[in-house]
Structure 1
């Protein structure tokens, strides 16, 4: 599994994810943030607070929101599976 080394949140609810060995993915989360586990990320300020945790992305600020299912987290496998569609 690839290790995430950097993530940059875009204003259009996309993430620029950089992996070790120089690979990059522009991950569009516009549809995903409309689903129950990710509803809190519909707030752009919250969405921009994405952080890296080992081989996953997470949003620490989203955990305090009532409409989320904890944890608000995406693994590398989740990302690769979603872009496969």
Structure 2
């Protein structure tokens, strides 16, 4: 499944479009309260989501090379939805 677009909403949900015409709504409200995703609590950072062929990602903060970018693959997202 290849991602063609991703939209971040004001209530911490991602709307992910796929090339087959399908769309997934992924609720991240609980995830942004966990340690790996804490920086996404800042709505501006959350809404700066990007996508690759098979993943959604957020860049590392400017000036902080010690902080890794965040990345979730389509498989991770679909598994979490089960």
- Aligned partner of 2:74 among 71, 76, 81: 76
Whether the 8 Å contact between 1:55 and 1:76 is mirrored in structure 2 is yes
Partner of 1:19: 18
Partner of 1:32: 31
- Structure 2: distance between partners of 1:77 and 1:34: 21
TM-score by length of 2: 0.89
Q: CA deviation at 1:34?
A: 1.0
- Structure 1: distance between partners of 2:18 and 2:53: 12
The runs of 4+ residues in structure 1 deviating greater than 6 Å are none
Q: CA deviation at 1:10?
A: 0.3
- Structure 2: distance between partners of 1:70 and 1:39: 13
Identify unmatched segments of 5+ residues in structure 1: none
- Structure 2: distance between partners of 1:12 and 1:64: 21
Deviations 1:25-78 (A, max 9, x none): 110000111111111000000000000122100011xx2287xx6231110011
1:64 aligns with 2:61: yes
* 1:21 alignment partner, SS class: coil
TM-score by length of 1: 0.86
How many residue pairs are counted as aligned between the two chains? Answer: 80
